[in-house]
Amino acid sequence: MTDRLYDIVIIGAGVIGCSTALALSRKGYRTLNVDRLPAAGYGSTSGSAAIIRPYYSTVEGTSLAYEGHFHWKDWANFLGLEDDGELARYNQCGCLILMGRDSDRLASTRRILDAVGVPFHILGAAEVSSLMPGIALDSFTPPKRIDDPEFGVPNGATLEGAIVCPTGGYINDPQLASRNLQQAAMAHGATFRFNVEVSEIRQLGGRILGVTLNGTERIDAPVVVNIAGPHSGVVNEMAGVREAMAIRTRPLRQEVAHVPAPAGLDFSGKGHVMTDGDTGVYMRPEIGNHMFVGTLEPACDPLEWVDPDGFDPSFTDQWTNLVWRAAQRFPTLGIPNKAEGIVALYDVSDDWIPIYDRSDLDGYFMAIGTSGNQFKNAPVVGQMMAELIAYCGNGGDHDREPLQFHLKHVDRDISLGFFSRNRPIHADSSFSVLG
């Protein structure tokens, strides 16, 4: 006996799940988001550093990110909601990518930014020092852990300067951004249910029938979308599609440190989102003159793949390594006695590039492998998934003729085949949180 009937069931109510609900409901689909957690954006989205940066290792990733910038900048209009003080805020502080002497002035990054039309300029070392008082431009590459005898010992070179991208920054509250999207979707008729778990993805003859919740409640829908974040691999196994995929996902445990800004530096007011490949960390301003520090996954940092339902939420020596590496760049950075920040899971694909695709099971779609570097793209991804579902529903053969999606602000078409489940590993990927 079916309890409810919907056009589309979306598994997950993080920032991308809520964005997809908004885009689909605007097209007139009757959608239901189901989430095992108590509120929108409560899972891995709430653990996001919520950085908005326009640079990735590929043209497609950079195009998506730059397009997303325009939606975040005009957030109230994108949502179609009144800005009554309850909307997430975009702090457009800009992004700084530090350049080492051996980096060829980040030629590949500059080439991609140029190709997409992202504005940027280059600063010399003296200009970086003027912009960020107290910064040390010694080179320490390759990044090392603090138990390495060579940790903290400069290699004799200095950084050459930095690329500055003004169209970047961070969102002040990633969970609030998800709730904003939920509210906007509900205004178009979308339904959300929390504290419920998908126990079965029902199918017959290679076609989706719907889902079962909590072992008993049947929901009929001809389309199901997996946007389950770190549980995406588990959901794909439940659907029986995982083995047929060339690219898969798995949950990665991550720590992000939250520390007071370096003494004498107004990092909240004048700081940038910083990418420092030389020490293997990224940093971003936080209110109250604090900063977040996270890893860029250098070779010295072990990757901790975990069970999404059984990971350790406490801090480890990774927190200490991150903060000490940041202190190499900012010697006045104090090391707190108590570790604070975020311990969360990323949903990571084999090449750190997401899967936005259909599956071999008709009616079953995926927006997965997104955690860590796709928060910024959420407003665009929702629209892409809505177009993909409509395209396939109208008879389009996405595997043979991938959907071409137009980015209206960037004025560029991208092929969603780039995000296919059946793609080869993208060799141009950074194989890190940078995407």
Q: What does the pLDDT look like over 391-427, one tens digit per residue?
A: 999 999 999 999 999 999 999 999 999 999 999 999 9
- Report the C-alpha gap between 334 and 402 in whole angstroms: 51
- Can you give the pLDDT at residue 83? 84
Question: What percent of the chain lies above the pLDDT cut of 90?
Answer: 95
Q: Do 12 and 154 have their domain in common?
A: no
- Can you give the pLDDT at residue 380? 98
Q: Do 266 and 329 have their domain in common?
A: yes
Look up the CATH number of the domain holding residue 330: 3.30.9.10
Average pLDDT over residues 300-304: 96
Where does a domain end: 310, 344, 378? Answer: 344
Q: Do 44 and 57 have their domain in common?
A: yes
The total number of structural domains in the chain stands at 2
Tokens of 121: 């300029």
Residue 190 CA to its chain's centroid (Å)? 24
For 44, phi then psi, to 5°, come to: -65, -25
State which residues form the domain around 59: 4-83+173-248+351-419
Q: Give the pLDDT band of residue 1 (cuts 50, 70, 90).
A: very low
Average pLDDT over residues 262-285: 95
- Report the C-alpha gap between 150 and 179 in whole angstroms: 46
338 found inside a domain: yes
425 found inside a domain: no
Q: Do 257 and 161 have their domain in common?
A: yes
For residue 427, the number of C-alpha atoms closer than 13 Å in the C-beta half-sphere is 0
**Pairing of the two strands 95-99 and 412-415:** unpaired
Q: Do 145 and 16 have their domain in common?
A: no
Q: Do 244 and 258 have their domain in common?
A: no
Q: Do 34 and 131 have their domain in common?
A: no
Kindly tell me if the per-residue pLDDT of 150 is higher than 70: yes
Kindly tell me if the per-residue pLDDT of 229 is higher than 90: yes
For residue 100, the number of C-alpha atoms closer than 13 Å in the C-beta half-sphere is 19
Q: Do 217 and 240 have their domain in common?
A: yes
Please, which contacts does 197-202 make with residues 24 or more away whose CB atoms are closer than 8 Å? 197/36, 198/11, 198/34, 198/36, 198/235, 198/238, 200/238, 201/235, 201/238, 201/239, 201/364
Q: Do 138 and 191 have their domain in common?
A: no
DSSP conformation letters of 81-116:
---SS-S--EE---EEEEE-TTTGGGHHHHHHHHHH
409 found inside a domain: yes
Kindly tell me if the per-residue pLDDT of 364 is higher than 60: yes
Look up the CATH number of the domain holding residue 234: 3.50.50.60
Q: Is 107 exposed, middle or buried (0-12, 13-18, 19+ CB in 10 A)?
A: exposed
411 found inside a domain: yes
Q: Give the pLDDT band of residue 3 (cuts 50, 70, 90).
A: low
Query: Please, what is the average pLDDT of the chain?
Result: 96
Element (H, E) at 294: strand 290-295
432 found inside a domain: no
- Report the C-alpha gap between 176 and 377 in whole angstroms: 16
208 found inside a domain: yes
Residue 273 identity: V
Look-up of token digits 């504290």: 195
Average pLDDT over residues 38-42: 96
89 found inside a domain: no
Summarised one tens digit per residue, pLDDT across range 192-221 is 999 999 999 999 999 999 999 999 999 999
Residue 121 identity: H
Summarised one tens digit per residue, pLDDT across range 304-355 is 999 999 999 999 999 999 999 999 999 999 999 999 999 999 999 999 999 9
Kindly tell me if the per-residue pLDDT of 2 is higher than 70: no
- Report the C-alpha gap between 90 and 305 in whole angstroms: 32
- Inter-residue contact 40 to 19 (CB < 8 Å): no
Q: Do 280 and 337 have their domain in common?
A: yes
- Report the C-alpha gap between 174 and 40 in whole angstroms: 10
Summarised one tens digit per residue, pLDDT across range 54-113 is 999 999 999 999 999 999 999 999 999 988 889 999 999 999 999 987 777 799 999 999
What pTM, to 2 d.p., does this model score? 0.97
Longest dimension (CA), the chain: 72
Torsion sign over Cα 16, 17, 21, 24: positive
Average pLDDT over residues 229-252: 97
Residue 260 identity: P
Closest CA to 43 of 307, 347, 406: 347
Q: Do 78 and 209 have their domain in common?
A: yes
435 found inside a domain: no
Where does a domain end: 344, 374, 397? Answer: 344
What count of other Cβ atoms lies within 10 Å of the Cβ of residue 329? 24
Q: Do 337 and 361 have their domain in common?
A: no
